[in-house]
Amino acid sequence: MENENKTPVTTEDEEITESTASETEVTDTAADDADDLKEGSSGSEDSASDDVTEENEEKKEKKPSRIKINKRRLKYGSIATGITVFVIAIVVIFNVILSKAAEKVNMSIDLTEKGTFEISQETKDYLATVNEPVDIVCLSDENTFRTSNYVYYKQAYEVLRKYTIYSDNVNLTFVDMLKDPTYAERYKDQYKGEISQYSIIVSSSKRMKVMELQDLYNVEMNYQTFSQDVVSSKAEQELTSAIMYVTDPNPLNAVFFNVPTQGTCYDNMKNMLTKNGYNVSEIDPMTEKIPEDADVLVIVAPLNDFDEPLINDIYAFLDNGGALGKHLIYVADFSQKSTANIDKFLSEWGIVVGEGVVGDTDPANLQSQSAYVVRNYIQPSDYSNNVPQMDLAVLDYQARPITLTFDHADSRETVALLQTKDTGFVLTDEMRKAVENGEEPDVQNGVQTTMAIGKKHTFNDSNEMILSNVLVLGSAETLDESFTSTTYFNNGDYFISILNQMTGKNSGVYIVEKDLTSTTFDINQETTIKFLLLFVVVIPAAVLLAGIIVFIRRRKM
């Protein structure tokens, strides 16, 4: 009796575990089991067997439906898993591609009013001409620049990155000196100065230049806190200048005469030439000879006249043994005393610097209420080819008038580079005295020249024309930093364009400093962490949680 009761139960278990049996086989097996139970049982046992048989048949009727549900789950679960894996793979690949592209494509948007974190179009155009590898190495941890609360660190970091984006030949590397303190020793054979933490090294196969972090910005004393505040950035100026210097196959040497002057542009001119790839030095012409390797002499509004031996040295410099190819920049100024020897020298180049100051009677041509702050406009010529915005004025302040005594004479030529409108005039000492005495001055209107160039040419053995040039400016204030450091005037751009044209220098840009005192959109470290948690942790976690919920609900279907 006991054995007979075990037989159908065992058969039931076996049949339940066989998922591959067909519906027909399951029905036949159930019928056979029912017959066996009928033959081996009686009385109450028959009733129990009937109950078991009915229960088995009920379970077996549900079984085919259960198999179909498993197949459906497997099918749609596999599709959902495949789609999930595919989307994740696409997202990962997209992020990798985006990260790589960000290294060579500018994907940031500068929302500041004057493009504080962007580089100028002039630099972009220059970078397009760089055809040899240039390495920029910052001896600092990259995070120091990228996450600093100081805006000038962030601005310098963004400018540095832009150089690699706009030129495939510029490479940027950050080296943490705390982790690699001996890194600077690799430059000891090339550079004899000090290289330390936060130094910035710009190098090519020709030469290298080393800057310090403080070279990238300007500071002013804050007399309320008695501390120095960073007011503007010159990161772009310094970096572009460094790249020009290390890639120039033959950098030109500019020598300044260090003589007494009241001209306001001496230091600014030195900076402008340095930033445009010239090797700049200075000498005392009363005690030192003009260096033989000098290419450009710069004389800024000397208060006193030069003696004849020095004038003869300047003659010899420009003549260069008959080979020419040398250049002089002479800046006059209303503050000068009598300079008869200098004036005689200039007249041989067809240039006469007159007395008095240039003004204009038309208020539309003036920059202020003063009649002697005149807006003059550039005329198209070979000397203005590199000026990016020709419609901007060049500002002259109390410029002395320049007269050209000839256009052409033998191997010499003169060209007026900057002139007023026909409403210009010259305020002479006599007119000034008349005004002081309450008299009406006799104003003679006409075009006045405030900048000109004298040229002398010869031909070399290859029949190529070689020039020596004398560039004359009527006012030292024309190249004052207050006029050259703004985007509203063309003083700086025009001067560099003229200089590079007359010296044959192929590249050169004048870059305006970036004001860092204005309000900019910025976030501090705390806000940065909040955004990082939001986009890197919270949002991905929410997406993951939603996926898990959807998965569980579908599984229960």
Q: How far apart are CA 248 and CA 242, in angstroms?
A: 10
Question: Using one digit for the tens of pLDDT, what is the confidence trace for 16-44?
Answer: 444 444 444 444 444 444 444 444 444 44
Q: How far apart are CA 533 and CA 191, in angstroms?
A: 45
pLDDT at position 217 is 83
Check if the beta carbon of residue 486 is closer than 8 Å to that of residue 385. Answer: no
Question: Could you tell me whether strands 424-427 and 412-419 are parallel, antiparallel, or unpaired per DSSP bridges?
Answer: unpaired
Residue 519 has pLDDT above 60, yes or no: no
User: What rounded mean pLDDT belongs to the chain?
Assistant: 81
Question: Using one digit for the tens of pLDDT, what is the confidence trace for 138-183?
Answer: 998 888 777 776 777 888 888 899 999 999 999 999 999 888 888 8
Domain ranges in the chain are 2-87, 114-248+513-518, 251-354+398-420+448-506, 523-557
Q: How far apart are CA 439 and CA 508, in angstroms?
A: 49
Angle at CA 275, nearest 5°, toward 256 and 206? Answer: 100
Write the CB contacts of 205 (distance below 8 Å, at least 6 apart in sequence): 132, 133
Q: Residue 242 is encoded by which pair of tokens? A: 């460094």
Question: Using one digit for the tens of pLDDT, what is the confidence trace for 378-391?
Answer: 999 999 988 888 99
Say which CATH superfamily domain 114-248+513-518 falls into: Glutaredoxin (3.40.30.10)
Residue 333 confidence class, pLDDT cut points 50, 70, 90: very high
Question: Using one digit for the tens of pLDDT, what is the confidence trace for 96-125?
Answer: 665 555 555 554 555 455 567 788 888 888
Helix H or strand E encompassing 283: strand 279-283
Q: Which CATH number does the domain 251-354+398-420+448-506 belong to among 1.10.10, 2.60.120, 3.40.50, 3.30.70?
A: 3.40.50
DSSP-assigned states of every residue in 444-503:
-----EEEEEEEEEEE-TT--EEEEEEEEES-GGGG-HHHHTSTT--HHHHHHHHHHHHH
Q: Per mean pLDDT, which of 43-57, 86-100, 385-399, 507-521 is the most reliable?
A: 385-399
pTM score, whole prediction: 0.66
Q: Is 245 left (phi over 0), alpha (psi -120 to 50) or beta?
A: alpha
pLDDT at position 354 is 96
Write the CB contacts of 517 (distance below 8 Å, at least 6 apart in sequence): 229, 231, 232
Residue 350 has pLDDT above 60, yes or no: yes
Question: Using one digit for the tens of pLDDT, what is the confidence trace for 60-104?
Answer: 555 554 444 556 565 666 776 777 777 788 877 766 665 555 555
Alpha carbons within 13 angstroms on the beta-carbon side of residue 512 total 22
539-555 and 44-102 helices, crossing angle to 10°: 150
Residue 503 confidence class, pLDDT cut points 50, 70, 90: very high
Write the CB contacts of 481 (distance below 8 Å, at least 6 apart in sequence): 265, 267, 268
